[in-house]
Amino acid sequence: MASQKVLEYLDAHRQQHVDQLCDFLRIPSISSQSEHEEDCRRAAAFVAGELKELGLVVETIEAGGLPLVYAQSEIKPERKTLLFYGHYDVQPVDPLELWDHPPFEPMIKNEIVYARGACDDKGQVYTHIKALEAYIKQGIELPVNVKFIIEGEEEAGGESIYRYTEQNPEKLACDAIIVSDTALYNESTPGICYSLKGLAYMEIQLKGPDMDLHSGSYGGTVQNPGNALAEIIAKLKDENGHCLIPGFYDDVLELEPDERAGFAELGYTDEILKKETGAPEAFGEEGFTTLERMWARPTCDVNGLASGYGGEGAKTIIPSRAMAKVSMRLVPNQDPAKIAQLFEKYVLSIAPKGVEVTVIDHHGANPVLVPRKSEMMQAGMKALEEGFGAKPVFIREGGSIPIVGTFQECLKSPVLLLGYGLSTDNIHSPNEKFHLSNFWRGARTTAILMEEAAK
């Protein structure tokens, strides 16, 4: 098996690869802060340089914001093609005082590297680059054609990757898209995430009088936007957590019996949830387990509420305005645009008299479902099993990765979400980390995947 020599190479170069990863991590490529634009460009150049050195044809693409790095190997028509996606930008680091160590001076302790971007996503991107390096440096022909598209606006919600994907589907054409920007199921169990929730994000604004009024002088004579908003919110869900928007559940793809059985086998309990969240008890839509609600049932949740006076002591007013932000996490096959319309129609229909109600549709993302039985999925499962030395499980994810939906739609290829991080790796938080064992096993997994995907 060719991969034996490849894996030997990865084992022999562990320390070197960690040192190189640390160089990558030293670049403070915070995409949402304009003073770091040069750093972001340096991070792009770092990725481009590595891929160029491996003999790939590399382009640094200016698509309006921070550059996209595109690279491809020689494309042989008889070989399958894998497209690797990731991002070189990172989240801001504040609050800095909560870091035990400067975020851009990587520190290694107990085989864990601590730095901003260690897990999200530089460390994971690097597993793919090092797997490729192993084939090239060992002089072993690649089992597949490889393409890379590494962006720099993921953490800032930039548009470049979307525009580029929509405009260049032939260039990015592939048999599967590999995304390593998620987590293992737990420390000892790898998983493939085959479904992501979508999103419809709404805002409700209520206007009553032109200004806050004296609640004694005018109370009882005009509608109170705060009370009116509470009435609206109270009608979004019933006491059993069931959403009351007509048509909300119409397109929901119900779980297959084997999915429900698979979730149950994972042994996630309400006790674990309580420990993770500190909530007094589990709560959600009746008729479903906690994991089913988390992964496969749509939600409708207030994300923020504001009206009137919230400061110290009392202030006797009828507030002039009220607003709420509401997120609906969607599941296959719900359509964010349709759900946003249903939401608006329903809210306007239940709006109490005496206030002006405006509903704003902020943004949406499509839910994603990747067929579990495809050949590529099997290749991914096999690679994870060999790479991590443990049987992987199928998992879903309650969050959204909007680019995954765009890839699926524009490229018509399955997306394999092979996460090598841990949910406890503090991504987006102080003391972000990545376990070196997962870094090394991730690189092995990617190397094996290239061979499995070719079969």
- Separation CA 275–CA 269 (nearest Å): 10
- Our finding on whether 89 is near Zn ion (CB under 5 A) is no
Strand partners, 394: 192
- Separation CA 191–CA 393 (nearest Å): 5
- Our finding on whether 397 is near Zn ion (CB under 5 A) is no
Q: How far is the CB of 193 from Zn ion (least distance, A)?
A: 13
Q: In this complex, which beta carbon is closest to Zn ion, that of residue 6 or of residue 125?
A: 125
- Here's the x/- map for Zn ion, 236-265, by CB under 5 A: it reads as ------------------------------
- Our finding on whether 153 is near Zn ion (CB under 5 A) is no
Q: In this complex, which beta carbon is closest to Zn ion, that of residue 121 or of residue 425?
A: 121
Q: How far is the CB of 151 from Zn ion (least distance, A)?
A: 10
| DSSP reduced 3-state for 344 | helix
Position among 120, 153, 451, 452 found at the interface with Zn ion (CB under 5 A)? 120
Q: In this complex, which beta carbon is closest to Zn ion, that of residue 151 or of residue 175?
A: 151
Angle of CA points 115, 116, 117, to nearest 5°: 105
Q: How far is the CB of 91 from Zn ion (least distance, A)?
A: 8
Show contacts of 388-393: CB within 8 Å, 24+ apart: 388/184, 388/190, 388/441, 388/445, 389/441, 390/188, 390/189, 390/190, 391/189, 392/185, 392/189, 392/190, 392/191, 392/192, 393/185, 393/189, 393/190, 393/191, 393/262, 393/265, 393/266
- Here's the x/- map for Zn ion, 175-214, by CB under 5 A: it reads as ------x---------------------------------
Give CA torsion, residues 32, 35, 40, 46, to 10 deg. -160
Q: How far is the CB of 119 from Zn ion (least distance, A)?
A: 8
The angle, 0 to 180 degrees and rounded to 10, between the axes of the packed helices 2-12 and 436-454 is: 160
Q: In this complex, which beta carbon is closest to Zn ion, that of residue 149 or of residue 213?
A: 149
Position among 39, 50, 89, 121 found at the interface with Zn ion (CB under 5 A)? 121
Q: How far is the CB of 183 from Zn ion (least distance, A)?
A: 11
Q: How far is the CB of 63 from Zn ion (least distance, A)?
A: 19
Which listed range, 117-125, 205-213, 230-238, 445-453, lies at the site for Zn ion (CB under 5 A)? 117-125
126: nearest Cα among 21, 229, 266, 228: 21
* Interface ranges with Zn ion (CB under 5 A): 120-121, 181
